[in-house]
Structure 1
């Protein structure tokens, strides 16, 4: 007895950025040591690398272990473009083959886009991944950074193949089926051409169909069948090939078959291939429309610009520009790259970013974004970002990543399609056996088996989910909603409550000083001292105070210390200042002035935020700062309520201020005075069906912890990176659009899945002949081919309706 050969261990060198010291390295070592199937482990705190050998363990296990330990590994991700995938069995096989490798952490394969996103170990090269996929029979190439190139027009090639197949099939179909419709035509044709000669001509034409435009089914399907991994092409090749082979035997060697079974099915073989080619052509054309959002984004930037070289305008390719180059922008011209305006004043249409139709006024020093449209002014800007670093390129990358995502609902489809084709082949064999045993003759058994092979459609199953994601995420980009993670499309549809940060989310985030009350000090002096202390603060309230103090000479401040949620302390001109809310005064042992507190409470009741100033331990001034509500906030909250959702305001502001703002908006629940940790606790308590919308650095933990985090695109990079979706404008109604689009996408997916599964459940038994004992018809293979082809077209066409969603 011989033992199976031992698999060689896979050696990995992983970069772990979170390792900063020997203690970190020790924790990583202990975590990985506890994982079975790892050997030869060394962790270097200097290089921040871990070397290990996988001897039973896999990279996904290692990755999760490191995440649980708090030291995630930095793994490369490779994008592949894959051709030849025609159904869910194909994409599932590619995904399983890649995922089976111990050095692959994750493999997402998208049938609709013909692309894969593979996260893997650094030692596994992108070209090696492409080679693995190509060896499966699906030619693959590596996609470089930046927007993926537009695909070759598959629809055009399929249209050409369909037209050739139709021209070759038409004479066969007319010769065979015309006599059934017009008996006189049958007698005339057979009087003109002997039956045997007619069959030989049909055989030649059908052979041309199968070897020419239909050859793709055989060159892909038969090798897959021989490898033991049959897929959609295998079913078509078996069905059409069986009908053709049976007809050839009848034509060339009729003595091998009983007289009752000597019927030819040349027209069935040809029509099967022609109709399926027609279906794939229509499907490819529809999928091309599904990807229109990405193409529209790619087409937004001009290929050439007017650059300034030594002060003279020169026409240059936009791809040749570098940061620092000056570019002239003519009226009505699109901005080619991100930059900073240096000359001119005007308005720029930024609707491609925000979905907002109103142009945005621009002046020197303001940012301009590639893809936006200049108004009626001549402007000049300095290039700031090129290539993959531009906002538009990042948007395209986010949309592509969302389109390639694998939703949780896809798991059911994957389990079904994995066994679908083998089950269909088994049913075809069973059908043949039953018809042979109980049917009238061999010909009917062959027809029934071919019908079962042809009627089955894993294509519709495989397209049901990804094509809806593809269209839905593209539509989201057009509406100014970017889904950074595709699964957010599914989770948002289940949302029950939406939590909002207040400042910068429901309000404009640019508070203004509306009132100043003082006691024992002039207003100008109070403003001067406060602005001096706030000069180095980045808090929005500090900005408002500094804006009010514009033009006043400010003395220097020493020893400035800020306490989150409590304000700051500083020394200005020898005076000890404390600036903040009432709690800040109380904590410092400062007695609030009753008159100033009365003004503060009245201002808070109106939604303003009071800020108090104490000088040398005495409360001397109170500022009222009001942050205007965004014009769309009230409408957004009302729309969410109409959708059956609860709303909550989670604010760090004073309770009175938050209550006033929340009451004006009609919020369901209002909580104020919250620290970032408090917000995190509230979000966790809301459960997995919660949504949180925020814009600041302190919102990042809540955005990450929420069932779905939505960041305001005008907010901080940290908040955006922590979110599942991003609103490109500051309009809170983008939340309404995002949830509405998510619900539409999931409704569309359910419709597609129902059609795909119900179609097969209903028609496969009919193809087997279930209705025949009850007087029903036996399904023709040609009708089966037409139904199968149209089922995929139905799924894609249904998904295209999402282009009008929102």
Structure 2
């Protein structure tokens, strides 16, 4: 039997080291390969069939964390808990800092008041860090919480000892708190109540801001889920029955009033109108739908009512597929994240050792135990690498969430990392550079427009051919008397004929009923020479019109290709269309390399040839016909809606089938990677610069705590800037 995938919600993690410990605990089980993301609190595990869910949960709980498969794990400390602890700790810390730093305000026994103010902060306020440190110690491990807890406990216990058993607790004792370690001689031990309380409050501030930012960035998935309507009007026995969305089944007939949301993925069986897909695909313009067209659940029907037949419900809908893809992307790990996890695993024990060495060295040099403890605590606090653990996952979280809002589904960190190296992009013509729908671009006729479009509309009334649909759409622009054609006969690949208003009529390819002559022949040749599809209309056995249809350029293609040039990416067109049509579009857009009549095998050969030449390339395809080429490319982008979205194996799925969406995907991925690099640079540079300063006694514990909290807030805030990423389409 093959391995199965399991997703678990993990609660109680407070730093990147925690996620690494959960990962290692899971992988101690035979047949388990796990990946745990601290930022999202989710563990993904590929497990052998004989490994039970209960065994996975037990392995996580054994390390001191909570876990759940069916829902969200119990989170002991979230935004609300950190906010409460932060507020109460700040209320107690402010007067404590004031008393400790201003000798003029130090009354008799002020130090005992400070002890009373510091006690709830150092014990209750810092309890999340103490608890995590204790659980880690039980398993012979140290994490970032261990550093904070140790710094707070040492400074608090030292101060309590000094107040209780030395001259520091005597009446009239005066002291001025130092932001930097003091080397001045003193007849009593220094008190560090303000350090214990100040470090706790500043770290709580950092944790609160971090959790709040994570909560905000995860709202992309929640917003997607909230788009789903709660009810549908199911037609049963000729009546509309209000039915909970969970009870709707595939095949149910549903009535959708104008202005309401379409409840599930479905096919239109009656009516026509316009649908606003912007909530799901990011497409700003309404899309016209009629009988036979597919509609996506949670989109909005703008005008007129529709009757639809449910095609996909529950987890099989496009919206559910989107949510799944975004969730997987946000819980994946980039290679750089795995490196950070390994660094943080060995970083904390090294810092504890450095703090100990620092304290011993300063005591040996100065003989001042207070100075030794101060510098040791500063090293512990400032080295806490929270920013390092947040650098990558927060950027991934925000970047993929913003992508979902723009109709860009980034499957995971691999796509973001691959996008940095792309220098060639291979794309199809139809539906990528063009809008994918044939439209009438020119007509040559010798009869009145009303007569012409009456013939066309009547003969094509029941045809499902794309050209027939385009002709009917164009015919709606004219006023004419509706006629029902009789004796209609369709000749596959050629055209259709029948009786319209008493006249034998036909329409089809130029070669079907004999090539047209004279002006009609000239018009047909002119249209074909520029790559248009040509339809000739006959009445009473004579040609009466020649109609040119073309796949119009996507309005965003020109600007999108200009952006590609700025990104130093070379576009190549590989299309199954004829040479004339492909050449026409390529030249209009200034694309130098293009290949016509390209089969799926030819596209694969083109991808391979470019890779052999040393290029790093992206391939845009439909996810089905181009499967081989997509799989071979370094980065695959699939244009798709409907069931293709969930099934597609592409690195990036574009719900807007436009060139602009592809460029947005590359630019967003690169912006996300830039943010990750800035975050990592800050986190590493901060620790590299700050630890030596603390060891040299140039930074006090309070300054250290403030700097550590600021570094975490900087990383999270920098990641949140990705929420303002703008599409090139506006």
Please give the residue correspondences for 1:366-405 in structure 2 after superposition, counting only pairs within 5 Å: 366-405=293-332
Cα distance, 1:544 vs. partner? 8.7
Residue of structure 2 equivalent to 1:522: none
Query: Does structure 1 residue 745 correspond to structure 2 residue 672?
Result: yes
How far apart are the structure 2 equivalents of 1:100 and 1:685?
A: 44
Cα distance, 1:79 vs. partner? 1.0
Cα distance, 1:605 vs. partner? 4.7
CA contact (8 A) 1:111 1:466 kept: yes
Please give the residue correspondences for 1:450-599 in structure 2 after superposition, counting only pairs within 5 Å: 450-511=377-438
Q: Identify which of 627, 632, 636 aligns with 2:556.
A: 632
CA contact (8 A) 2:325 2:646 kept: no
Secondary structure of the residue aligned to 2:573 is strand
CA contact (8 A) 1:604 1:657 kept: no
CA contact (8 A) 2:318 2:642 kept: no
CA contact (8 A) 1:291 1:474 kept: yes
Query: Does structure 1 residue 243 correspond to structure 2 residue 155?
Result: yes
How far apart are the structure 1 equivalents of 2:556 and 2:526?
A: 26
Q: 1:737 to 1:783 in 2, by over 3 A?
A: same
Secondary structure of the residue aligned to 2:311 is strand
CA contact (8 A) 2:622 2:640 kept: yes
Residue of structure 1 equivalent to 2:592: 668
Please give the residue correspondences for 1:156-167 in structure 2 after superposition, counting only pairs within 5 Å: 156-167=80-91
Gaps of 5+ in 1: 1-13, 16-74, 518-530, 561-566, 569-578, 583-595, 612-621, 773-777
| Superposition CA RMSD, Å | 4.0
Secondary structure of the residue aligned to 1:358 is coil
Residue of structure 2 equivalent to 1:684: 608
Residue of structure 1 equivalent to 2:20: 92
Encode CA deviations 1:406-441: one digit per residue, 9 max, x unaligned.
112223322321211111111111111111111350
Q: 1:455 to 1:719 in 2, by over 3 A?
A: closer
How far apart are the structure 2 equivalents of 1:171 and 1:276?
A: 18
CA contact (8 A) 1:300 1:334 kept: no
CA contact (8 A) 1:87 1:459 kept: yes
Query: Does structure 1 residue 759 correspond to structure 2 residue 683?
Result: no
Residue of structure 1 equivalent to 2:626: 699
Q: TM-score, normalised by structure 1?
A: 0.74
Mean alpha-carbon deviation: is it higher for 327-336 or for 474-483? 327-336
Query: Does structure 1 residue 651 correspond to structure 2 residue 575?
Result: yes
Secondary structure of the residue aligned to 2:577 is coil
Residue of structure 1 equivalent to 2:45: 118
How far apart are the structure 2 equivalents of 1:341 and 1:511?
A: 21
Query: Does structure 1 residue 783 correspond to structure 2 residue 703?
Result: yes
Mean alpha-carbon deviation: is it higher for 255-264 or for 275-284? 255-264
Residue of structure 2 equivalent to 1:81: 9
CA contact (8 A) 1:355 1:480 kept: yes
Cα distance, 1:692 vs. partner? 0.9
Q: 1:239 to 1:728 in 2, by over 3 A?
A: same
Q: Identify which of 761, 775, 799 aligns with 2:719.
A: 799
Q: 1:650 to 1:367 in 2, by over 3 A?
A: closer
Please give the residue correspondences for 1:126-525 in structure 2 after superposition, counting only pairs within 5 Å: 126-143=53-70, 154-179=78-103, 183=104, 185-186=105-106, 189-190=107-108, 193=109, 198-254=110-166, 260=187, 262-308=189-235, 310-511=237-438
Encode CA deviations 1:677-725: one digit per residue, 9 max, x unaligned.
2211211233362111112632111111111111111488399613111
Secondary structure of the residue aligned to 1:647 is strand
CA contact (8 A) 2:435 2:658 kept: no
How far apart are the structure 1 equivalents of 2:549 and 2:242?
A: 50
CA contact (8 A) 1:249 1:256 kept: no
Cα distance, 1:229 vs. partner? 1.6
Gaps of 5+ in 2: 170-184, 445-458, 475-483, 495-507, 512-519, 536-545
Residue of structure 2 equivalent to 1:642: 566
CA contact (8 A) 1:507 1:630 kept: yes
How far apart are the structure 2 equivalents of 1:291 and 1:483?
A: 15
Secondary structure of the residue aligned to 2:125 is coil
Secondary structure of the residue aligned to 2:69 is strand
Residue of structure 2 equivalent to 1:28: none
Encode CA deviations 1:104-128: one digit per residue, 9 max, x unaligned.
24x2211111111111212112232
If asked which structure has higher relative contact order (CA below 8 Å, sep 6+), I would say: 2
Mean alpha-carbon deviation: is it higher for 215-224 or for 371-380? 371-380
How far apart are the structure 1 equivalents of 2:30 and 2:524?
A: 64
How far apart are the structure 1 equivalents of 2:716 and 2:220?
A: 15
Encode CA deviations 1:14-52: one digit per residue, 9 max, x unaligned.
24xxxxxxxxxxxxxxxxxxxxxxxxxxxxxxxxxxxxx
Secondary structure of the residue aligned to 2:648 is helix
Secondary structure of the residue aligned to 1:697 is coil
How far apart are the structure 1 equivalents of 2:55 and 2:217?
A: 30
Cα distance, 1:89 vs. partner? 1.1
